[in-house]
Amino acid sequence: MVNFAEIDENNFYDVIDLEVKEAQSRFVAPNVRSIAECYLYRKNNDVFPYAIQDAGKVVGFILIDLDEEAREFMIWRMMIDRKYQNYGYGRAAIMKAMEMAKSENKYDTFIADYVKGNEVMGELLRSMGFTHHSFDEENNEYVMHYKLN
């Protein structure tokens, strides 16, 4: 249903123009900030931003953070544009990321987090088998784990 496309000159503006619903804006960093942070962390070559697409249409954004040494595959940030919410794109994007993590056979743990108060994301993760791991007080986020092996 969905695929991940590298962010390039063809989809950059589509990605930075994506917006969540107003009530959700306090839960998600702007995509342009996430892309800028990828530039800051480029030395590590372990942070990858993607456009979430369906039939070539950009419907969301996902930022993957890899830690091969710790064997962890993490969704650092994810958002689905307000026009495309409630159509299963969030679940499909997480499933696609899980497929990536499993296919590389380098990771034992799949991590996703969500800001306290964003119960839509919390419920989605729990419904997919993620379990509570910890609470990051500095970022006000619940950290969820899913065991890949």
Q: Using CA atoms, how far apart are residues 102 and 51, in angstroms rounded to an integer? A: 20
Residue appearing with tokens 């307000």: 82
Percent of all residues in the chain with a pLDDT value above 90, rounded to a whole number: 83
Instruction: Label residue 59 left, alpha or beta by phi (over 0 means left) and psi (-120 to 50 means alpha).
Output: alpha
- CATH classification of the domain holding 116: 3.40.630.30
Q: Quick check: 123 pLDDT over 80? A: yes
Residue 102: phi and psi, rounded to 5, are -70, -40
Burial class (CB in 10 A: 0-12, 13-18, 19+), 52: buried
Q: Using the CB atoms, write b or e for 93-121: b if 16+ within 10 Å.
A: bbebbbebbeeeeebebbbbbbbeebeeb
Q: For residue range 44-97, what is the model confidence (pLDDT) as tens digits?
A: 778 999 999 999 999 999 999 999 999 999 999 999 999 999 999 999 999 999
Domain count, the chain: 1
Q: Where in the sequence is the domain holding 101, given as residue range(s)?
A: 3-147
Q: Using CA atoms, how far apart are residues 79 and 89, in angstroms rounded to an integer? A: 9
Q: For residue range 101-120, what is the model confidence (pLDDT) as tens digits?
A: 999 889 999 999 999 999 99
- pTM score over 0.85: yes
